[in-house]
Structure 1
Amino acid sequence: MTTADVRPATADDVGEITRIQLATWRAAYGEALGAAVNSLAPEQVSASWAEAVEHPDTDVYVAVEGSATVGFCVAGIAPAPEVAAADGSLPDDAARTGLIASLLVEPRWGRRGHGGRLLGTAAAGLRRRGAERGIAWVVQSDSASLSFYRSAGWNPDGTVRILDTGEHTIKELRLTGTLDLRLDHPEPSDSD
């Protein structure tokens, strides 16, 4: 039986993280992002991931199944602009709020619990950093990711943001929830 696990990413994982991000974005967000997704330079994406893996305030994890890297997650204490209300005001727990900046599982490896393991591991890491709750931004049209986070008890908090890709605009919803997750049987999704 093949073993599935989550572990901290190292510099050796940057190539696979880049590959997974590009493949997943093209499959899941190609229409929404338009030509922008195809113009992403792998070298630039890799450089950004190399910085994230080495950054002391960021936790990057990879999901593996057997010898294959199948997904990743990046988390850290949420920067003030990410946790602020639409009017810019900060909640009382702003300094104790974690951000799941990205959680992706390559589509062909979905529905095997990798997303739940990644989120659970990231939540534990955020708790060790002093966070008490978490947030994540999800594209409003990404019903699979919304369902995945809802299955973990995370729900929209009413805050939205609009991203301009140059061709289209994308509406994202901010989800929030507890970091004390019980993901014994996470609901399958494309994020999973």
Structure 2
Amino acid sequence: MADVGVRPARRADAAAVADVQVRAWREGYRELLPAKVLAEVTAPQAAAVWRERWLQAITDPPSPRHRLLVAVSAELVVGFAAHAPAEDPDLDAATTAELVTLLVDPVHGRAGHGSRLLAATADLLGKDGFATVVCWVFEQDAVMRRFLGSAGWAPDGARRVLDMGEPVPMIRMHTDISGGTRRL
């Protein structure tokens, strides 16, 4: 079995994280986002911007509670998760965190990397004193909804619509990481 695990992202991981993001979006979001938007956010020029943004997230995060984790298999970055204090105005950023993104390279899917990332995220957030974690999910993203649901997450009733040339609805899911009911 390959050497697999989750660790904090390093400066040298920024390009690999951006590459995983682009591949995962191309595969997973092709039915969810307008084709023109998806082409723009996964184009080579966009990938260069993502690399710079991920490098900044690694080297100069806004706070110690903003983290980027990577899933590795035989030293290769195969997925990542980013989390931060929640920013939605109806949430308490002192006790509620947001899973900003969790993506696994489609070539390495269904190998437990997403589950390892989710568990590591919950562990770190619990140590940081968070009790709840939320995540915005495309309403039509059945794969992510099932994945989070299998780990004890559920919709909390919040909704928003992104304007991407056409409306793209999202729902907010949440889970309790404060103790006994945690399933992550």
Give me the TM-score of the superposition, normalised by structure 2: 0.88
Q: CA deviation at 1:28?
A: 1.2
Residue 158 of structure 2 aligns to a residue in which SS? Answer: strand
Question: Match of 1:51?
Answer: 56
Q: Which amino acid aligns with 1:178?
A: D
Which 5+ residue runs of structure 2 have no aligned equivalent?
none
Question: Match of 2:34?
Answer: 33
Residue 39 of structure 1 aligns to a residue in which SS? Answer: helix
Question: Match of 1:187?
Answer: none
Question: Match of 2:85?
Answer: 77
Alignment partner of 1:3 is 2:8: no
Q: Which amino acid aligns with 1:102?
A: T
Q: Distance in 2 between matches of 1:11 and 1:170?
A: 33
Q: Is the 8 A contact 2:132 2:176 kept in 1?
A: yes
Residue 48 of structure 1 aligns to a residue in which SS? Answer: helix
Residue 2 of structure 2 aligns to a residue in which SS? Answer: coil
Compute the RMSD of aligned alpha carbons. Answer: 1.5
Q: Which amino acid aligns with 1:48?
A: R
Change (3 A) 1:33 1:49: farther
Which 5+ residue runs of structure 1 have no aligned equivalent?
85-89, 184-192
Residues paired across the two proteins, number: 173
Q: Is the 8 A contact 2:152 2:183 kept in 1?
A: no
Residues 63-120 of structure 1, C-alpha deviations (whole Å, 9 max, x = no match): 01113211000012112x2xx4xxxxx35x4420011000001112111111111011
Residues 100-150 of structure 1, C-alpha deviations (whole Å, 9 max, x = no match): 000001112111111111011111111122111100011111111000100
Q: Is the 8 A contact 1:77 1:99 kept in 2?
A: yes
Structure 1's consecutive aligned runs of 4 or more residues displaced over 6 angstroms after TM superposition are none
Q: Which amino acid aligns with 1:124?
A: D
Q: CA deviation at 1:33?
A: 3.4
Q: CA deviation at 1:30?
A: 2.5
Question: Match of 1:188?
Answer: none
Q: Distance in 2 between matches of 1:78 and 1:33?
A: 27
Residues 39-69 of structure 1, C-alpha deviations (whole Å, 9 max, x = no match): 2311111111112112033110000111321
Residue 102 of structure 1 aligns to a residue in which SS? Answer: strand
